[in-house]
């Protein structure tokens, strides 16, 4: 099961950075957890946010990441 293949590269849907699509990249097709959460934030936007609120800033993204990491330990 160990063929040597050229790694498949995809463009991160958030920042368009090239991402190597591999099983070790848990954030694929995103380049990082941050971009993945940004995308989650984009769809959560309509349901959880009040229209007219400013876009998420870096601090909010970091908080989201922390919350997501905590949630991962929840056996939900
Ligand atoms: Zn990205």
Q: What is the pLDDT of residues 3-41, one digit of tens each?
A: 666 778 999 999 999 998 888 889 999 999 999 988 888
DSSP run (H or E) holding 36:
helix 33-48
pLDDT at 64 exceeding the cut of 90: no
Sign of the torsion formed by the C-alpha atoms of 9, 10, 11 and 14: negative
The alpha carbon of 65 and the centre of ligand 1 are apart by a number of angstroms equal to: 14
Q: Helix, strand, or coil here: 5?
A: coil
* CATH code where residue 22 lies: 3.30.50.10
Q: How many domains does the chain have?
A: 1
Q: Confidence band (pLDDT; 50, 70, 90) for 46?
A: low
User: What are the CA-CA distances from residue 23 to residues 14, 19, 29, 43, 75 (Å)?
Assistant: 20, 12, 11, 25, 24
**Residue range of the domain that includes 60:** 8-71
The alpha carbon of 30 and the centre of ligand 1 are apart by a number of angstroms equal to: 5
Establish if 3 belongs to a structural domain. no
The alpha carbon of 10 and the centre of ligand 1 are apart by a number of angstroms equal to: 10
């Amino acid at each position: 099961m160990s063929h040597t293949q050229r790694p498949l590269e995809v463009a991160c849907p958030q920042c368009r950075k090239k991402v190597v699509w591999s099983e070790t990249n848990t954030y694929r097709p995103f380049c990082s957890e941050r971009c993945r959460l940004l995308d989650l934030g984009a769809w959560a936007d309509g349901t959880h946010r009040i229209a007219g609120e400013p876009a998420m800033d870096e601090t909010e993204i970091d908080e989201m990441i922390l919350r997501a990491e905590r949630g991962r330990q929840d056996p939900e």
